[in-house]
Amino acid sequence: MFLLAGLGNPGAKYALNRHNVGFMAVDAIAEKNKFPLFRQRFAGLMCRGKIESEDVILFKPSSYMNNSGQPLAAVVNFFKLSLSNVWVIHDDLDIELGHVRVKTGGGAGGHNGLKSIDSHIGSDYSRLRIGIGRPPRDTDVSNYVLSDFKSNDLLWLDNLIPEIGGTMPFLLNADPQAFCNNIVSSMRSIFPELKTNE
């Protein structure tokens, strides 16, 4: 069984924030793979379904970002999940727009959601990092991640998020390079300069 947990802040006020791209991705995974409706459970929204032959839990904590770890830990502990089967999907300032990266373990990189998760389950889970780019030099980082995507972001965002939803079998089959390369191939129609995520 896999857990795919998206990070974000709850409520309509934050729905289109850059910081909520993890929630957007989990919603796309649910839609693309025909999961049932999300239900309130473990202080979050959860549903279960299949991606190809794999049993998968989708989860969005209902706590604010900096308290994501406690509800996520409750899911991990209840289902006795190995951290090797836990994926956290989140925004990343250090990755360019339209790019994704995957990694297992490592530091939180200043991301408050990851800091909270690390404090509750350790850091040996895997991460799907969605690039939101860095703000202009004089822009406060907190204001940037807690502001909505701009209209000119929607071209790449509205293509990338569904592509993540439909490409998840590669991640679950332990082929992250194929996952990244398939996304890049799809996104090249928007960003011809995109290279494979090495």
* 19 has catalytic annotation: yes
Residues 99-108 have a mean pLDDT of 90
Q: What is the pLDDT of residue 183?
A: 85
Whether residue 192 is predicted with pLDDT greater than 70 in this model: the reply is: no
Whether the predicted pLDDT of 193 surpasses 70: no
The DSSP element (H or E) to which 41 belongs, if any, is strand 39-41
Task: Evaluate if residue 27 carries a pLDDT over 90.
Answer: yes
Q: Where are the domains of the chain?
A: 2-187
Question: Is 153's pLDDT higher than 90?
Answer: no
Determine the average pLDDT of the residues in 169-190: 82
Q: Homologous superfamily of 2-187 in CATH?
A: Peptidyl-tRNA hydrolase (3.40.50.1470)
| Least confident among 11-15, 25-29, 143-147, 185-189 | 185-189
* Higher local confidence (pLDDT), 159 or 192: 159
Given this model, what pLDDT does residue 197 score? 47
The mean predicted confidence, pLDDT, of the chain is: 91
Give the angle subtended at the CA of 71 by the CAs of 70 and 76, to the nearest 5°: 95
Q: Identify the residue with better confidence: 195 or 93.
A: 93
Percent of the chain with pLDDT over 90: 72
pTM higher than 0.75: yes
Q: Are strands 44-51 and 54-61 parallel, antiparallel or unpaired?
A: antiparallel
Q: Please state, in angstroms and rounded to a whole number, the distance separating the CA atoms of residues 53 and 73.
A: 25
Instruction: Render 146-194 in DSSP notation, one character per residue.
Output: TSBPPGGGHHHHHHHHHHHHHHHHHHHTT-HHHHHHHHHHHHTTT-TT-
Choice among 19, 90, 99, 111 that is catalytic: 19
